[in-house]
Amino acid sequence: MKLETGQVDVPPGTLPRHDVSRADQPDGWRLWWLAVRPKTLTISLAPVIAGSALAWSDAGRLDPRPCLAALVGALAIQAGTNLYNDVADALRGGDQPIRQGPPRVTALGWASPDRVRRAALICFALAVCVGLYLGWLGGWPIVALGLASLAAGWAYSGGPHPIAATPLGEGFVIAFFGIGAVCGSYYLQTHAVSPPSLVIGLAVGALAAAVLMANNYRDMEPDRLAGRRTLAIRIGAGASRTVFAGLVLAPFVLVLLPAGPHGGWVSLMALPLALTLIRRFVSEARGAAFNAILAATARLQLVVAALLALGLAL
Protein backbone atom coordinates (compact mmCIF):
# COMPACT_ATOMS: atom_id res chain seq x y z
CA MET A 1 0.00 0.00 0.00
CA LYS A 2 1.38 3.41 -0.93
CA LEU A 3 1.42 6.11 1.71
CA GLU A 4 0.85 9.79 1.11
CA THR A 5 4.54 10.37 1.73
CA GLY A 6 5.44 8.00 -1.10
CA GLN A 7 6.79 5.40 1.32
CA VAL A 8 5.67 1.81 1.23
CA ASP A 9 3.84 0.29 4.16
CA VAL A 10 5.99 -2.52 5.53
CA PRO A 11 4.26 -5.86 6.07
CA PRO A 12 4.55 -7.42 9.53
CA GLY A 13 7.52 -9.74 9.95
CA THR A 14 9.87 -7.67 7.79
CA LEU A 15 12.11 -4.76 8.64
CA PRO A 16 11.54 -1.32 7.13
CA ARG A 17 14.43 -0.01 5.09
CA HIS A 18 16.01 3.32 5.98
CA ASP A 19 18.70 5.26 4.17
CA VAL A 20 21.28 5.76 6.90
CA SER A 21 24.95 5.99 6.03
CA ARG A 22 27.25 3.55 7.78
CA ALA A 23 29.25 6.49 9.14
CA ASP A 24 26.20 7.65 11.10
CA GLN A 25 25.60 4.27 12.74
CA PRO A 26 26.50 4.04 16.44
CA ASP A 27 28.34 1.01 17.75
CA GLY A 28 29.50 -0.44 21.03
CA TRP A 29 28.07 1.12 24.16
CA ARG A 30 26.60 4.03 22.17
CA LEU A 31 24.40 1.61 20.24
CA TRP A 32 22.97 -0.02 23.35
CA TRP A 33 22.66 3.28 25.20
CA LEU A 34 20.50 4.52 22.33
CA ALA A 35 18.56 1.26 22.22
CA VAL A 36 17.45 1.39 25.88
CA ARG A 37 16.02 4.93 25.34
CA PRO A 38 17.88 6.74 28.14
CA LYS A 39 15.59 9.77 28.18
CA THR A 40 12.75 7.62 29.52
CA LEU A 41 14.73 5.57 32.07
CA THR A 42 13.91 8.14 34.76
CA ILE A 43 10.40 6.67 34.72
CA SER A 44 11.90 3.76 36.67
CA LEU A 45 13.86 5.96 39.07
CA ALA A 46 11.08 8.34 40.13
CA PRO A 47 8.80 5.81 41.89
CA VAL A 48 11.69 4.22 43.81
CA ILE A 49 12.83 7.66 44.99
CA ALA A 50 9.31 8.67 46.06
CA GLY A 51 8.46 5.35 47.73
CA SER A 52 11.76 5.16 49.60
CA ALA A 53 11.46 8.78 50.76
CA LEU A 54 7.99 8.09 52.14
CA ALA A 55 9.28 4.99 53.95
CA TRP A 56 12.14 6.99 55.47
CA SER A 57 9.66 9.66 56.61
CA ASP A 58 7.29 7.12 58.18
CA ALA A 59 9.83 4.71 59.68
CA GLY A 60 12.57 7.17 60.54
CA ARG A 61 15.23 5.04 58.84
CA LEU A 62 16.18 3.84 55.38
CA ASP A 63 18.02 0.63 54.52
CA PRO A 64 20.11 1.47 51.42
CA ARG A 65 20.37 -2.17 50.29
CA PRO A 66 16.78 -2.70 49.09
CA CYS A 67 16.65 0.88 47.85
CA LEU A 68 19.64 0.44 45.54
CA ALA A 69 18.56 -3.05 44.51
CA ALA A 70 15.08 -1.78 43.64
CA LEU A 71 16.64 0.94 41.49
CA VAL A 72 18.77 -1.60 39.62
CA GLY A 73 15.84 -4.00 39.20
CA ALA A 74 13.46 -1.30 37.97
CA LEU A 75 16.02 -0.01 35.46
CA ALA A 76 16.70 -3.54 34.23
CA ILE A 77 13.01 -4.27 33.69
CA GLN A 78 12.45 -1.02 31.82
CA ALA A 79 15.58 -1.42 29.70
CA GLY A 80 14.53 -4.97 28.84
CA THR A 81 11.02 -3.81 28.00
CA ASN A 82 12.36 -1.03 25.75
CA LEU A 83 14.71 -3.43 23.95
CA TYR A 84 12.01 -6.04 23.45
CA ASN A 85 9.67 -3.31 22.20
CA ASP A 86 12.37 -2.21 19.75
CA VAL A 87 12.68 -5.60 18.11
CA ALA A 88 8.98 -6.54 18.35
CA ASP A 89 7.84 -3.30 16.70
CA ALA A 90 10.35 -3.70 13.90
CA LEU A 91 9.31 -7.30 13.15
CA ARG A 92 5.62 -6.39 13.21
CA GLY A 93 6.15 -3.45 10.87
CA GLY A 94 5.29 -1.00 13.63
CA ASP A 95 8.34 1.23 13.05
CA GLN A 96 7.16 2.74 9.78
CA PRO A 97 9.45 4.97 7.69
CA ILE A 98 7.17 7.93 8.49
CA ARG A 99 7.62 7.45 12.23
CA GLN A 100 8.79 10.65 13.94
CA GLY A 101 10.29 9.16 17.11
CA PRO A 102 13.94 8.66 18.04
CA PRO A 103 15.93 6.04 16.06
CA ARG A 104 15.13 2.38 16.69
CA VAL A 105 18.18 0.17 16.29
CA THR A 106 16.41 -2.92 14.92
CA ALA A 107 14.31 -1.09 12.34
CA LEU A 108 17.35 0.86 11.13
CA GLY A 109 19.41 -2.31 10.78
CA TRP A 110 21.99 -1.18 13.33
CA ALA A 111 21.54 -4.42 15.27
CA SER A 112 19.95 -7.70 14.26
CA PRO A 113 16.68 -8.79 15.88
CA ASP A 114 18.50 -11.67 17.58
CA ARG A 115 21.08 -9.35 19.13
CA VAL A 116 18.47 -6.96 20.45
CA ARG A 117 16.36 -9.83 21.75
CA ARG A 118 19.36 -11.31 23.56
CA ALA A 119 20.11 -7.92 25.11
CA ALA A 120 16.52 -7.74 26.36
CA LEU A 121 16.82 -11.21 27.89
CA ILE A 122 20.06 -10.21 29.63
CA CYS A 123 18.26 -7.24 31.19
CA PHE A 124 15.37 -9.45 32.31
CA ALA A 125 17.86 -12.00 33.72
CA LEU A 126 19.52 -9.23 35.73
CA ALA A 127 16.10 -8.20 37.00
CA VAL A 128 15.42 -11.79 38.08
CA CYS A 129 18.70 -11.92 40.03
CA VAL A 130 17.91 -8.65 41.77
CA GLY A 131 14.35 -9.83 42.34
CA LEU A 132 15.55 -12.95 44.14
CA TYR A 133 17.50 -10.77 46.54
CA LEU A 134 14.55 -8.41 47.04
CA GLY A 135 12.25 -11.40 47.54
CA TRP A 136 14.56 -12.68 50.25
CA LEU A 137 14.32 -9.29 51.95
CA GLY A 138 10.62 -8.61 51.42
CA GLY A 139 8.99 -12.04 51.21
CA TRP A 140 6.26 -13.34 48.93
CA PRO A 141 4.56 -9.97 48.21
CA ILE A 142 7.78 -8.71 46.59
CA VAL A 143 8.24 -12.01 44.74
CA ALA A 144 4.70 -11.75 43.37
CA LEU A 145 5.24 -8.12 42.34
CA GLY A 146 8.54 -8.97 40.68
CA LEU A 147 7.08 -11.87 38.69
CA ALA A 148 4.11 -9.75 37.64
CA SER A 149 6.45 -6.95 36.53
CA LEU A 150 8.57 -9.32 34.43
CA ALA A 151 5.47 -10.85 32.84
CA ALA A 152 4.08 -7.40 32.14
CA GLY A 153 7.39 -6.29 30.62
CA TRP A 154 7.15 -9.15 28.12
CA ALA A 155 3.41 -8.74 27.51
CA TYR A 156 3.82 -5.03 26.79
CA SER A 157 5.36 -5.84 23.39
CA GLY A 158 5.18 -9.64 23.12
CA GLY A 159 2.50 -12.23 22.53
CA PRO A 160 -0.35 -12.17 20.01
CA HIS A 161 -1.96 -9.08 21.55
CA PRO A 162 0.77 -6.79 22.94
CA ILE A 163 -0.42 -4.23 25.48
CA ALA A 164 1.47 -1.49 23.63
CA ALA A 165 -0.89 -1.84 20.68
CA THR A 166 -4.07 -1.50 22.75
CA PRO A 167 -5.79 1.29 24.71
CA LEU A 168 -4.59 -0.36 27.93
CA GLY A 169 -1.02 0.95 27.75
CA GLU A 170 -1.56 3.98 29.98
CA GLY A 171 -3.32 1.88 32.61
CA PHE A 172 -0.46 -0.64 32.49
CA VAL A 173 2.06 2.14 33.13
CA ILE A 174 0.10 3.56 36.07
CA ALA A 175 -0.18 0.10 37.62
CA PHE A 176 3.47 -0.99 37.27
CA PHE A 177 5.52 2.21 36.97
CA GLY A 178 3.38 3.99 39.53
CA ILE A 179 1.44 2.06 42.15
CA GLY A 180 3.47 -1.15 42.00
CA ALA A 181 6.89 0.50 41.99
CA VAL A 182 6.11 3.06 44.72
CA CYS A 183 4.31 0.62 47.01
CA GLY A 184 6.94 -2.04 46.39
CA SER A 185 9.74 0.36 47.34
CA TYR A 186 7.79 1.42 50.42
CA TYR A 187 7.03 -2.19 51.41
CA LEU A 188 10.70 -3.19 51.21
CA GLN A 189 11.47 -0.69 53.97
CA THR A 190 8.33 -0.98 56.14
CA HIS A 191 6.70 -4.35 55.27
CA ALA A 192 3.41 -2.49 54.89
CA VAL A 193 1.42 -0.45 52.37
CA SER A 194 -0.09 2.84 53.47
CA PRO A 195 -2.71 5.19 51.93
CA PRO A 196 -0.05 7.83 51.18
CA SER A 197 2.02 5.22 49.30
CA LEU A 198 -1.01 4.47 47.11
CA VAL A 199 -1.62 8.17 46.51
CA ILE A 200 2.01 8.79 45.57
CA GLY A 201 1.90 5.71 43.34
CA LEU A 202 -1.07 7.14 41.45
CA ALA A 203 0.61 10.55 41.19
CA VAL A 204 3.92 9.22 39.86
CA GLY A 205 2.12 6.72 37.64
CA ALA A 206 -0.06 9.42 36.08
CA LEU A 207 3.04 11.26 34.90
CA ALA A 208 4.54 8.04 33.54
CA ALA A 209 1.29 7.47 31.64
CA ALA A 210 1.55 11.02 30.30
CA VAL A 211 4.92 10.08 28.80
CA LEU A 212 3.29 7.17 26.98
CA MET A 213 0.39 9.37 25.85
CA ALA A 214 2.88 11.85 24.36
CA ASN A 215 4.57 8.96 22.52
CA ASN A 216 1.32 7.52 21.17
CA TYR A 217 -0.11 10.94 20.26
CA ARG A 218 3.03 11.70 18.24
CA ASP A 219 2.82 8.35 16.44
CA MET A 220 -0.93 8.20 15.73
CA GLU A 221 -0.58 7.97 11.92
CA PRO A 222 2.16 5.31 11.71
CA ASP A 223 0.55 3.35 14.55
CA ARG A 224 -2.78 3.33 12.73
CA LEU A 225 -1.09 2.10 9.55
CA ALA A 226 0.58 -0.67 11.56
CA GLY A 227 -2.79 -1.85 12.91
CA ARG A 228 -2.32 -0.52 16.43
CA ARG A 229 -5.26 0.71 18.46
CA THR A 230 -3.67 2.78 21.18
CA LEU A 231 -5.69 5.00 23.47
CA ALA A 232 -4.69 8.05 21.42
CA ILE A 233 -6.06 6.43 18.26
CA ARG A 234 -9.25 5.25 19.93
CA ILE A 235 -10.20 8.62 21.45
CA GLY A 236 -8.74 10.93 18.79
CA ALA A 237 -6.38 13.89 18.87
CA GLY A 238 -8.64 16.33 20.72
CA ALA A 239 -9.49 13.96 23.55
CA SER A 240 -5.83 12.87 23.75
CA ARG A 241 -4.82 16.44 24.49
CA THR A 242 -7.41 16.54 27.29
CA VAL A 243 -6.22 13.20 28.72
CA PHE A 244 -2.59 14.36 28.64
CA ALA A 245 -3.49 17.53 30.52
CA GLY A 246 -5.42 15.51 33.09
CA LEU A 247 -2.54 13.09 33.62
CA VAL A 248 -0.03 15.91 34.06
CA LEU A 249 -2.22 17.88 36.50
CA ALA A 250 -3.51 14.88 38.50
CA PRO A 251 -0.43 14.58 40.76
CA PHE A 252 -0.83 18.15 42.00
CA VAL A 253 -4.37 17.33 43.13
CA LEU A 254 -3.61 13.87 44.50
CA VAL A 255 -0.78 14.94 46.81
CA LEU A 256 -3.06 17.49 48.50
CA LEU A 257 -5.74 14.92 49.39
CA PRO A 258 -6.22 14.05 53.08
CA ALA A 259 -4.76 10.60 52.36
CA GLY A 260 -1.79 12.13 50.60
CA PRO A 261 1.72 12.51 52.01
CA HIS A 262 2.55 15.28 54.43
CA GLY A 263 4.63 17.91 52.73
CA GLY A 264 3.01 17.10 49.39
CA TRP A 265 2.45 20.81 48.81
CA VAL A 266 6.15 21.17 47.98
CA SER A 267 5.51 19.42 44.67
CA LEU A 268 3.38 22.41 43.62
CA MET A 269 6.67 24.12 42.83
CA ALA A 270 6.66 22.05 39.61
CA LEU A 271 3.21 23.26 38.56
CA PRO A 272 4.55 26.02 36.25
CA LEU A 273 6.59 23.38 34.43
CA ALA A 274 3.47 21.24 34.07
CA LEU A 275 1.41 24.11 32.66
CA THR A 276 4.14 24.99 30.17
CA LEU A 277 4.27 21.36 29.08
CA ILE A 278 0.51 21.23 28.55
CA ARG A 279 0.62 24.43 26.50
CA ARG A 280 3.33 22.94 24.27
CA PHE A 281 1.42 19.68 23.89
CA VAL A 282 -1.75 21.48 22.80
CA SER A 283 -0.16 24.09 20.55
CA GLU A 284 2.63 22.24 18.74
CA ALA A 285 1.98 20.06 15.71
CA ARG A 286 2.54 16.33 16.00
CA GLY A 287 5.91 15.29 14.70
CA ALA A 288 9.57 15.23 15.64
CA ALA A 289 9.07 18.19 18.03
CA PHE A 290 7.16 15.84 20.31
CA ASN A 291 10.36 13.96 21.08
CA ALA A 292 11.37 16.96 23.22
CA ILE A 293 7.91 17.08 24.83
CA LEU A 294 8.14 13.38 25.69
CA ALA A 295 11.57 13.86 27.30
CA ALA A 296 10.32 16.93 29.18
CA THR A 297 7.37 14.94 30.55
CA ALA A 298 9.75 12.28 31.86
CA ARG A 299 11.85 15.00 33.49
CA LEU A 300 8.73 16.50 35.08
CA GLN A 301 7.97 13.14 36.70
CA LEU A 302 11.47 13.00 38.19
CA VAL A 303 11.20 16.61 39.41
CA VAL A 304 7.84 15.90 41.08
CA ALA A 305 9.26 12.77 42.76
CA ALA A 306 12.27 14.75 44.01
CA LEU A 307 10.02 17.53 45.36
CA LEU A 308 7.83 14.96 47.11
CA ALA A 309 10.95 13.54 48.74
CA LEU A 310 11.97 17.06 49.79
CA GLY A 311 8.51 17.72 51.23
CA LEU A 312 8.65 14.47 53.20
CA ALA A 313 12.08 15.41 54.55
CA LEU A 314 10.77 18.78 55.69
Which of these, 223, 232, 239, lies nearest to 100 by C-alpha position? 223
Domain that holds residue 267: 26-313
Q: Are 80 and 127 in contact (CB under 8 A)?
A: yes
Q: Is residue 154 part of a domain?
A: yes
Q: Is residue 21 part of a domain?
A: no
Q: Please list, residue by residue across 52-78, b when 16 or more beta carbons sit within 10 angstroms of its beta carbon and e when fewer do.
A: bbbbbbbeeeeeeebbebbbbbbbbbb
Q: Is residue 3 part of a domain?
A: no
Q: Is residue 1 part of a domain?
A: no
Contacts of 153 (CB under 8 A, 6+ apart): 77, 78, 80, 81, 84, 124, 127
Give how many domains the chain has, as a whole number: 1
Q: Please state, in angstroms and as integers, the Cα–Cα distance from residue 167 to each residue in 161, 230, 234, 299, 301, following that order.
A: 12, 4, 7, 24, 22
pTM metric for this prediction: 0.85
* Cα–Cα dist 143/158, whole Å: 22
Q: Is residue 173 part of a domain?
A: yes
Q: Is residue 19 part of a domain?
A: no
* Cα–Cα dist 297/54, whole Å: 23
Q: Are 149 and 180 in contact (CB under 8 A)?
A: yes
Q: Please state, in angstroms and as integers, the Cα–Cα distance from residue 299 to each residue in 57, 103, 222, 287, 303, following that order.
A: 24, 20, 26, 20, 6
Q: Are 148 and 190 in contact (CB under 8 A)?
A: no
Q: Are 294 and 213 in contact (CB under 8 A)?
A: no
C-alpha angle 277-282-288 in degrees, rounded to nearest 5: 80
Q: Are 259 and 195 in contact (CB under 8 A)?
A: yes
Per residue of the chain (314 residues), give pLDDT as tens. 333 333 334 444 444 444 444 556 777 888 888 888 888 888 999 999 999 999 999 999 999 999 999 999 989 988 988 898 888 877 766 555 555 667 788 888 888 889 999 999 999 899 999 999 999 999 999 999 988 888 887 788 777 788 888 999 999 999 999 999 999 999 999 999 999 999 999 999 999 999 999 999 998 988 888 788 999 999 999 999 999 999 999 999 999 999 999 999 999 999 999 999 999 999 998 877 788 999 999 999 999 999 999 999 88
Q: Is residue 14 part of a domain?
A: no
Q: Is residue 249 part of a domain?
A: yes
Domain harbouring 219, CATH code? 1.10.600
